[in-house]
Structure 1
Amino acid sequence: MAEGRRDPRFEVSVQGRYRTGTGVAKDVPILEMSETGCRFYDRFGRLRPDTEISLRIGSIGPVIATVRWCNDHIVGVEFENPLYGPVFEHIRSQLGQR
């Protein structure tokens, strides 16, 4: 779990897919998650802060999120709406075990 956050983040290993607007979907590995956001590796490196994306997390989604930061192909996003507790627990315990 990452320290110093308002919501605890948990390490996961789950496949995700994002798209910006009507762009082509890009597959990304999701590395950490909380009910309010996640961190993933973006080998494309084209996302910028304040960009709105549509994100699939495993079979869940689409989830609307806003890019908050990018650093060396690692992207942190905040979900428009927090994930429903049982959905988050399903992702964390069933889809995202690391």
Structure 2
Amino acid sequence: MAYLDPEFGSPPIHRREPREQVEMLAKFRRDFVSSTVLLKDLTRFGAKVEGIGRLSADEAVSLALPGCRPAMAFVAWANEHSAGLEFADPLDSQIFSDLVARFGLGRSAAAPA
């Protein structure tokens, strides 16, 4: 499950669908410690979060997106400042669409700037 992060010089990886750029706060829980993180991109299958300490690949965490119940996710990749999470269960299509409509920055993260 450990993916390489193409943003940090690793080879590109195949994604199931394009990432949508977003800026939203979410509740993050690791072990018994909760904090607020910033989501930078989102798909139905995962998200990139910033504002956390170093995580380990395959580590299980909990993430509560705005208006959603906390859900389990696994760390796919991590560095000192951010991490890619893979959701244990994909987001419902309608919930994903609503979050992108509310918090999206208007272009896909996979699209050139």
Tell me whether the two structures share a fold, i.e. TM-score over 0.5. yes
Q: What is the Cα-based RMSD across aligned positions, in Å?
A: 1.5
Counterparts of 1:46-61 in structure 2, within 5 Å, are 46-61=54-69
Q: Distance in 2 between matches of 1:50 and 1:5?
A: 18
Consecutive aligned runs of 4 or more in structure 1 exceeding 3 Å deviation: none
Output the TM-score relative to the length of structure 2: 0.75
Q: State the identity as a percent.
A: 29
Output the TM-score relative to the length of structure 1: 0.86
User: 2:74 corresponds to which residue?
Assistant: 66
User: 1:26 corresponds to which residue?
Assistant: 35
Give unpaired runs (5+ residues) of structure 2.
Answer: 1-11, 106-113
1:54, distance to aligned residue in structure 2 (A): 0.8
Q: Distance in 2 between matches of 1:68 and 1:97?
A: 22
User: 2:111 corresponds to which residue?
Assistant: none
One of 34, 53, 73 as aligned partner of 1:45: 53
> Number of paired residues?
93
Q: Give the match's secondary structure for 1:59.
A: coil
One of 12, 17, 28 as aligned partner of 1:7: 17
